[in-house]
Chains A and B, each alone.
Chain A
Amino acid sequence: MRYRIRRWGPGLLLIAPSLVLLAVFVYGLIAWTIKVSLSDRHTAQESNGFVGLKNYTDLFTNDINDRFTHSLTNLLIFTVVFMAGTMFFGVLWALLLERGVRAEGIFRTIYLFPMAVSFVASGVVWRWLMNSKIGEDAGGLNWIFEQLHLGFLQNPWWTDPDWGMAAMAVPAIWQLSGYVMALFLAGFRGIPAELREAAVVDGASTFQLYRRVLFPQLTPVALSALIIVGHMSMKMFDLIMSVSGAQWLTEVPAVYVWQTLLTSDYAKAAAISVILLLLVALVIVPYLVHTSRVEKRS
C-alpha cells in the first residue's frame, strides 16, 4: 500500500493542479451550464425555478420563426460544404505534392499559410470579396467576374436565403484546406517505401497503387482530418460574425447563443450551448474511443 502511494503519489500531486483547474473551470462550468439550461432564468434576474427539459423542447417546437432549427440547417449546410471542400482540396494538393513537385517546400508553405491568418482578419477581407452587388456596382469577386466577362458567375454569395451558408464556407475552406493537405502529406510520407515498391513489382498501375495500397492506409488520417475540421465547423462563430455580423440569414447556434446572451436570456443560451456541446461530443467521443482502442491493441 505504502509502496503504491509512493509510486503514484508524486505523479498525482504533480498533475493535481491541472486536474483541479479542469474540474472546476471546464467540467464544473459545464455542469453549471446544464443546471442553468434546466432553469427558467430568462432575464438578468436570479430566478431559479426548475423547468426540466422545457427550454430544450421550446427550442425545437416553440421558437419564433423556428429560429433554432433554422440555425441548425445553416450549420448543416456550412459543415457539409466546409468538410467536403477542405477534404477535396486537401487531398488534391497532397496528391500533387506527393507526386514530387519541384520546390515542394514553397508550395507547401503557400498552401498552409492561410491557416496562420485569424478567422476575424480573413473574414473582413472575404466580407469585401463576397460583395453581393452585381453588374456595374459589383465589387470583390463579382467585379472580377464582370471584368472577365464571366457575368453569369456573379452571385449574391452569403445573402442567398437558401444556399448562402455554402458561400460562407468558402473562406473557411480557403483557410483550412492547407492544413488537411499537411495531414495527408504526413500520412503519405508515413507509408513505407517497400509497400509501393512491392506494388509496382506486382505490376500495379498508378491508379491501383493509390486505390488499393496507399489510400486504405490513410483512413486514420482522413478520420482525424474530418473530426478536426468537423468540430471547428460546429463551433464556427468568429468568421460568420466578421463576414455578415449576427443576423437571421447566417445565424448558426454559436451566434444564436451570443445573441441570446446579449438579451440576458441565460436559460435559453445555456440550452443552445449544451446542444452544441452534445453535437460536438457526438463526433469526438466515438473517435476518442476508437483511437484509445487502437492504441491498446498496438
Chain B
Amino acid sequence: MKFSRRAAVAIVGVAALFGAAACGSDDDGDGGNTKDVEVFTWWADGGEKAGLDGLVSTFDTDCADYTFVNGAVAGGAGANAKQVLASRLQQGDPPDTFQAHSGQELTDYINAGQIEDLSADYKTWGLDTAFPQGLIDNLTVDGKIYSVPANIHRANVVWANTKVLTEAGITEDATTLDQFIANLEALKAKGVAAPLAVGKDWTQLMLLEAVLITDLGPEKFTGLWDGSTDWSSADVTKGIEDYKTLLGYSNADRDTLDWTDAEKLVMDGKAGYQLMGDWEAADLDTKGFKEYSYSAFPGNATAFQWLADGFVLPKGAKNAEGTRCWLKTVGSAEGQKAFNTKKGSIPARTDAVATDYPEYQQSAIADWKKGTQVPSCAHGAACAQGLQGALNSAVGKFSTDLDVETFQKALVAAASQFIKK
C-alpha cells in the first residue's frame, strides 16, 4: 500500500511535468495571411519609429494589396533584434524582410544563402540609375546586390563648437590634416586641454578611418576592405602615425566615454572638435545646442563616407511579392522622402529635392550627389561583423599603449583573417 501511494505521487509528478512541457510546445501555427508583409526592424522609438511610420504610410498607398505587419524588436541598438533574427533564420522562419546595414555586414547572410539577389529588381525599379554609381559599386558583391538602402548617413564629419574656435582665432574649416593639427595646437594654446573629443573603441575606429581616407585617398581606402590595398604598406603606417598624433590632442578618458559623452565635451566647450556621424546634427538640435559647425574631415575632400540601413529579401520569405513591393517603396522617391525627413538622414537617391529637408541635410544631399562614395567599416558598410569586432578590439588596445607597430600588425592580421581576396 505504502509503495503504491509513493509511486502514485511520483507518477503524477512526472505526468504533470511532461504535460506542462507538452502544453508549452503547443503549435501556435502560422496564422500568416498571405497578404501580410512582416517587416523586421529595431526601429521602435524616436526619430527611427517616426521614419518607419512615414515609410508605412507610403507603403499603404503604393501597395494597397498588402498589409504591413510590424516585427520590431526593441533594445540594445539592434543587438537584441539581431539575436532574434539569427535564431529565426536558423529555424527557417525568416520575416518577410529585415533591416540590416547595407554593404559588407550582409556577408554572413549572403554566404549562408539566406538572402536573395536583387540586382534584376534594381533594374526594374530604376534604382541602378537613381542611386549614385559609387554607392552601386560599394553595394555590389560578385555582380550582385542584396539590399535596398532606406537612408544614407555620413560618417566622416567633424563637428565643432564655433564659440571655442572663435576664441582661439580659428575662422576657417581646416581642409588638410596639417591645418587641422595647427588648429588643435591653437586650441591647446588657448587652454583647451583636450581639443579633440573622442569616445570609446568604435568612435576611435571612425577617426582612424577618416585619417586613412585622407592619407590613402578614397580609392585606395575602399581597396582596404576588398583586399586590393595592402594594410602593411607605408601609407597605412603614415595614417596610423597621424591618427596617433590626433589621439595626442584628445581626452585621456576616451575609453570611458560613449559618443554622446564626447559630444557633451564639445557642447560644454571643453573640446573644440569631434568626429562623428551626421546623426549628431539631429542630436545637437534636439539638445538645443546652436553654436556648432560641421565640415568634412580635413583632407577627405569630396569623399562621402556612407553607411545605410537597408532592407533585404530573405530566402523562403512567405510573401516574396509583398516584400518586393515593400522594397520598391523603400527605394522609391516618396518612400525615401517619407522616411528620411523624419529620421534625420538623407535619401540614397540623387533625385531628392533638398528643400524638403533641414539645413544640415541639404548640404549633405549636395555632397552626396557630387561626392565620391566610400564605405564605413565601423558601421558595417565596408566590414562584416567579425572584422568590425577585431578592429574595435585593436583600436581599443592602441588607445592604451599607442604602439604603432603592433597596431599595424594587428590590422594586417585582422584583414588577412576576415577579408577574402
CA distance A14 to B82 in the complex (A): 40
B112 touches A43 (CB 8 A): yes
Q: Given the complex of chains A and B, what is the CA–CA distance between A9 and B413 in angstroms?
A: 59
* Chain B 1-60 interface residues, beta-carbon cutoff 8 Å to A: 3, 6-7, 9-11, 13-14, 17-18
Given contacts A6-B3, A132-B256, A248-B393, contact A161 B386 (CB under 8 A): no
Q: Are A264 and B14 in contact (CB under 8 A)?
A: no
Cβ of A61 under 8 Å from chain B: no
Inter-chain contact B386/A64, CB cutoff 8 Å? no
Most chain A C-beta atoms within 10 Å of own C-beta, residue among B89, B256, B401, B410? B256
Q: Which of B3, B18, B112, B389 contacts A44 (CB 8 A)?
A: B112
What residues on A are CB-neighbors of B414 within 8 Å? 64
B417: CB under 8 A from chain A?
A: yes
A65 close to B255 (CB less than 8 A): no
Q: Given A14, A161, A262, which contacts B400 in the complex, CB threshold below 8 Å?
A: A161
Question: What A residues does B399 contact at CB under 8 A?
Answer: 248
Contact B255 A249 (CB under 8 A): yes
- Report which A residues bind B (CB closer than 8 A): 6, 9-11, 13-14, 16-17, 42-46, 64-65, 67, 70, 131-133, 137, 156, 159, 161, 244-245, 247-249, 251, 259-260, 262-265
The dominant DSSP class at the B interface is helix
The distance in angstroms between the C-alpha atoms of A65 and B18, with both chains bound, is 49
How far is B400's CA from A70's CA once the two chains are assembled, in angstroms? Answer: 13
Q: Known: A247-B201, A262-B79. Is A14-B9 also a contact (CB below 8 A)?
A: yes
Contact B6 A10 (CB under 8 A): yes
Partner of B10, one of A14, A65, A156: A14
7 A–B pairs (Cβ distance < 8 Å), ordered by A: A10-B6, A10-B10, A13-B7, A44-B108, A44-B114, A65-B397, A262-B389
Which of A46, A131, A159 lies at the interface centre, i.e. has the most chain B CB atoms within 10 A of its CB? A159
Q: Please tell me if B109 contacts chain A, counting CB pairs below 8 Å.
A: yes
- Residues 395-421 of B at the A interface (beta carbon under 8 Å): 396-397, 399-401, 406, 410, 413-414, 417
Is B86's beta carbon under 8 Å from chain A?
yes
Output the residue of A13, A248, A262, A264 with the most chain B CB within 10 A.
A248
Alpha-carbon distance between A64 and B23 when the two chains are bound, in angstroms? 48
Cβ-defined contact, A10 with B7, below 8 A = yes
Q: Is the CB of A45 within 8 A of B112?
A: yes
Query: Which residues does chain A contribute within 8 Å of B397, judged by CB atoms?
Result: 65, 70, 248
CB-based contact A44/B89 at 8 Å: yes
- 5 smallest beta-carbon distances between A and B, as pairs: A248-B396, A13-B10, A161-B400, A10-B6, A45-B112
Instruction: Establish whether residues A264 and B386, one from each chain, have CB atoms under 8 Å apart when the complex forms.
Output: yes
- Given A17-B17, A263-B385, are A64 and B417 neighbors across the interface (CB < 8 Å)? yes
Q: Is the CB of B14 within 8 A of A16?
A: yes
A16 proximity list for chain B (CB < 8 A): 10, 14
Contact A260 B9 (CB under 8 A): no
Residue numbers in A under 8 Å from B355 (CB-CB): none
